[in-house]
Structure 1
């Protein structure tokens, strides 16, 4: 069944290698979890059409590599995005305390000031291994003006909710005039083009081929 969408939002995921960015994306677009995760090399892509405040909205999501070797490539994908998912692993202190501020600095330097950023503490299903508290994540988000949510790519807890929250925030910025649709760098375009289904779940494979 085909449908139309009112808007198309560009998203990007950033954060250390192994925090689960690709798994969050796959859970959102394809409703499945990959037990063995190969590290992303370069950039992968996923897309999904969801209802945002009563309007069908296509989210185009660029999933970037977290390794330092790909940092220059990652930075080039910050531009022209409506929203960014900044991800850390609640079971690995370095992904939060050592590196999170650096990722956020990159995003604010290379992206539009109007880009919505949501901080996601992934792997909240592993509460017995937690080393970053919910309060610490919440405080970091509050200090830097970010949205915040803990999620689990494995159980799907809060995964769709996080993407939808970011999308709703972008939509409100459009309504409030913060985002100008004529600005090519805002990461938002008007839609009304037909798509295959409500969940256009294309996801790049590691060898560069596309699947759907």
Structure 2
């Protein structure tokens, strides 16, 4: 019988980094890119089941797309209790958004300080290569030094948006299976 697990996925990063676009493109299976930008002022929640490759199981992601403006930070953090996984997003054309990644990661990890949770860093807007100011190496180095898996994508071009979420679902599922095996070995 297939398992259907549930996971709380927190998406963070500076405003205008593309968090909402990534969320909406992933949620719509690449059929919808938001052409009209409306700044997220709190937290928007979407859910999507993700089939775990090589299993009959799925992980239902409850994706919390969080506002990136400091003005909303207190309100947003109220929705971050008990995260299962974290997605940190930056814009490759905006060095400030990249430099803020450590702050965002710390804020989410402070919700569960003693728990290791699946986490990814997404470099967004790679379609704007001529305006890129943050190199792939810088992103990869930051991810490596913070225990994150690194992905590059373009929400606008609907390129590689699904991969980080597939990775998170697979990693979450593996952690779940490992816990079951551990508890079974205790009996």
TM over 0.5: yes
Aligned residues between the structures = 176
Tell me which protein shows more helix as a share of its residues: 2
Task: Tell me which residue corresponds to 1:86.
Answer: 88
Task: Tell me which residue corresponds to 2:130.
Answer: 128
**Aligned-partner Cα distance in 1 for 2:161–2:70:** 26
**Aligned-partner Cα distance in 2 for 1:118–1:111:** 16
TM-score (norm 2): 0.88
Task: Tell me which residue corresponds to 1:24.
Answer: 22
Would you say the 8 A contact 1:116–1:166 is kept in 2?
yes
Task: Tell me which residue corresponds to 1:14.
Answer: 12
Which 4+ runs in 1 deviate beyond 4 A? none
Deviations 1:127-186 (A, max 9, x none): 1110000000000010111111011111121111111111111111112229x99xxxxx
SS at match of 2:73: helix
**Aligned-partner Cα distance in 1 for 2:3–2:172:** 15
Say whether 1:40 aligns with 2:40.
yes
Task: Tell me which residue corresponds to 2:172.
Answer: 170
Structure 1, gaps ≥5 residues long? 182-212
**RMSD of aligned residue pairs (Cα, Å):** 1.9
SS at match of 2:127: coil
Structure with higher RCO (Cα < 8 A, 6+ apart) = 1
Task: Tell me which residue corresponds to 2:103.
Answer: 102
